[in-house]
Structure 1
Amino acid sequence: MPLEIRPAGRAQVTGLAQTLARAFADDPVWSYVFPDPDARLARILPRVFSAQLRYFHLRHGACDYTADDGGRTVAGALWNPPGTWRTSLRDDLVSLPAAVRAAGRRLAVGFSVVRAMEKVHPAEPHWYLALIGTDPGVRGSGHGAALLASRLAAVDAAGLPAYLESSNPVNVPYYEGFGFRVTGEIRPGRGAPVLHTMWRPAGGRG
């Protein structure tokens, strides 16, 4: 049976943040920003993703998730509709206390990565896939593919392109299977891993 794609709301913040933390626990870029693996998984990433959801992503109503048979969130995708990918000064100020609690002394490193990403973000109207992740325990069972296919169908129906940054080179071929193509690289700083920028034309036709 096809997986049910559900819209995320406030009630899903904790579960979705924890799922994304497990999904990105070994991600090269997040590991660069937060090098302590135990703190990254148990404390930092759940707080970071929770803050992003509460103060930014949920406002745009484009967060999707899937659950297992017991109702536990096992995968999620955070999208931004056209014109909403950049946080405002108000967003930054309101979320700053939560960001400090989550990132601590590594906050400046995290901001350097964000600034590098913002410098090359496309100006053309598009849907932006900010994050997508699947709990390692169910990885390979189609949850991520279902999330991507569902949202991209709506993007195609609107006749719009889509954009993402892949923080792990292993995932580049996966996204290429959905019509994304590598357009460039982002090098956030000395010793930092490379992010690949990927663009999907309207309709997925390159």
Structure 2
Amino acid sequence: MTTIAVRPARREDVRALSATLGKAFFDDPVMAWMLPDPEVRQRRLNRLFAALTKYHHLSRGGVEVALAGDHVGGAALWDPPGQWRQTTGEQLRAMPSLLRAFGVTVRRGMAVEERMSAVHPEEPHWYLAVIGSDPLLRGKGHGHALMQSRLDRVDAEHAPAYLESSNPDNVPYYERFGFEITGEIALPDGGPSLIPMWRNAR
């Protein structure tokens, strides 16, 4: 397997990594439920991931990109222990971009955030908010390289980790890295479920 370079993301990477994540999540069940119109979903997902990265995750120091040549083949948005919550200032700065991303479905986005926050573990942990790779490169190892890069640090710190899978098809993948299902987060209005997963400290 070709070695894939993983490095911390920089501000100038935001556009490329948000485009890659937008492609990665285009067919995701939760994203399709929040943004049901496929004609605008790609553009709005790009805006969503750009806003989340720029106004929250990037400042925490846990965003990484996996490179395919000079192209961002994959990206992961992690938050260090105790830093997964957005500050009021971050929420205010992100709001215009999030409104443009969600449009009339902004209430669905807010409902997802509320339900996720309600069951988020209190114990300090590394939080994997988002991970994805370009569908054209899927299976080439970009996701694996991103997971291993951060989990090496997580294990060096003897810290636990947490994520929510928005696609049940990805659960076995996360289980291979030591994550275990802890429950289910049901979304309103007949929406799909999120699957919370926890990885004990090692």
Distance in 2 of aligned mates of 1:76 and 1:38: 24
Provide the rounded CA distance (Å) in 2 between the counterparts of 1:199 and 1:107: 28
1:7-65 superposed Cα distances (whole Å, 9 cap, x missing partner): 10111000000000000000000000000112111x10000111111111100111011
Q: 2:71 maps to what in 1?
A: 72
Cα distance in 2, alignment partners of residues 134 and 2 from structure 1:
16
Matches of 2:176 and 2:3 in 1, distance apart?
Answer: 19
8 Å CA contact 2:6, 2:65 repeated in 1: yes
> Which structure 2 residues correspond to residues 103-182 of structure 1 after superposition, within 5 A?
103-182=102-181
Give identity over the alignment, percent: 49
Deviation at 1:108, TM superposition (A): 1.0
Q: Which amino acid aligns with 2:12?
A: A
Measure the CA separation in 2 of the matches of 1:101 and 1:52.
13
Q: Which runs of 5+ in 2 are unaligned?
A: none
Per-residue deviation, 1:169: 0.2
Given residue 112 of structure 1, which amino acid in structure 2 is its aligned partner?
A: A
**Is 1:62–2:58 an aligned residue pair?**
no
For the residues of structure 2 that align with 1:123 and 1:188, how far apart are their CA atoms?
21
Unaligned ranges ≥5, structure 1: none
Name the amino acid aligned to 1:21: G
Deviation at 1:73, TM superposition (A): 0.6
Runs of at least 4 residues off by over 6 Å = none
Distance in 1 of aligned mates of 2:45 and 2:25: 8
Partner of residue 190, structure 2: 191
Number of paired residues?
Answer: 201
For 1:29, the equivalent position in structure 2 comes to 30
